[in-house]
Amino acid sequence: MIMELKAGMKAPAFAVNDEQGRLVKLSDLFGKKTVLYFYPKDMTPGCTAESCNLRDNYKTLQKKGYEVLGVSSDSEKSHRKFIEKEKLPFRLLADVDKKLHEAYGTWVEKSMYGRKYMGTARKTFIINEKGIIEEIIEKVDTKNHTDQILKPVARKAEKKPKSVLKPKAKRKVGEG
Supply the residues annotated as catalytic: 47
In the chain, at which residue ranges do the beta strands (DSSP E only) sit? 15-17, 23-25, 33-38, 66-72, 91-94, 107-112, 115-120, 123-127, 133-137
* DSSP-derived secondary structure letter, 150: H
β-partners of residue 18 are 93
Q: How far is CA 7 from the centre of its chain?
A: 12
